[in-house]
Structure 1
């Protein structure tokens, strides 16, 4: 799960063309659950969507959109909140939901937001700009808690070593900036070989996921999408690393009736009618043209599914591949 920081323009929505192709002709009411710079929203409205409900937890994105949002009139509805609660933020019977999971290039480019290990700034990482910061986690969590965060959310094999170094460093002085944390990590791990990801990549990813409860939000958002989509409505989810994609894949398998059937040793379990029809056997990835235009698409995977007429089912987080830390947060 090597994931470099996005470096392309934040205004280029990833895997947009395959989404538009899958739902052509674009029409009806859509939810853009990760509004960001508005790339998907504008593309959907320009392609013929009747209305888009654009959700984001970061209030700053709506300030940025003020210069152009009014040109769409009532066709664009800006909604502050998280896509995990979209079923309480938008009307039912939507024709589509798109989710572009993870941090945006726009947020990474702002040093003061603290997402980037390549830019010095306060160790913040809050998408909503409220609540506990990454510095709070780094300076107050126990060594065991930090090791769990780094391993479960970053798949960092040196998680215990880094956690031990962080706890030792903060005894001298609080770790308040991104470069302070980078220095601790670099002093702990061997220097990477040319072409390898920066040593801080996995730790920064893990902290960002923990601070924003990203995986908990993802599973809530998937179930919320099931609730708001009309029969025939399309769910489109773009992920950027294996943790996210595994959750989406398992959710669609479970809700699409694709889980393994019984055998002669284990009788087939009784199952509900599928709530989604999975579109395509494999995830869609960027073609060579998109890769050349937008390097951020290199690690992106798109999964599509169409809502059936089956009633909304019970929420069941088991079996989705959630790390233990996230499973605790969604079970509260």
Structure 2
């Protein structure tokens, strides 16, 4: 016998009552009718059911990589809005989290030739690290196409133009999730033949006769040295603007240094017409400058070296500095042409 909560058995008396209000059969019949009559499905119900079905289908097509479930789906045209896509990704996350599966998925709406509405891309994962790696890789894959983006808890949501317009897009997203889900390489197990930056720096400095700021200052004023001597500032503009500089130094940023001083290069400085130049390179603290000076030596500029401690050490030695780097009084512009 099935009980119906909230339905009270009527009390039978000898007085006449209306069957519609006290007849047990009538009461139970109404309850059965109320329960058995299905609620009319709304559009929201349909969308939710479609989202669940789509999530199940996406999960079924996923692959495993280093113990992580990864998948990509270019799912539907843009007339399905972001809320629907969120419902799909939420169901994916719920099902995989329920089963304790590590996962990383990329799901996006696809392009419509008749629509100018941007597409939505959602990358979701079981960890923030997976999502962060995938976000950075996706930014590189779709450079110039991402319109807006926002990081949320364990997911990244972006609007992106024309995704799905070519076969490249799906392949690119698969590449993103696969690479982002890989087990991190143990930094203590580098590939054969590789060297740490400390090893590279030590090797470079072993080839140099590094000098102190005071020694550099004395060399610049020495009149008996046969080779022309130049102090070269390779720091980026932001550091010069905030920290100041050294009046009389040549400002040549690191990315063009070799091209400015190689006597064989078409873009060399006018003064770089010989290999015996004495070039004293400095950076902010004396690390990048060592690598730069060694690179110049490899070009054949064997007198190149760098300044121990860089610009910081120069200031501590109370040697002349130029604080107004908004209008630097250097001899060479950033482009490397003599002024």
Q: TM-score range by the shorter chain?
A: under 0.3
Q: Rg bigger for which structure?
A: 2
More contact order relative to length (CA 8 Å, sep ≥ 6):
1
Q: Tell me the TM-score normalised to structure 2 length.
A: 0.20
The structure with more helix, counted as a fraction of residues: 1
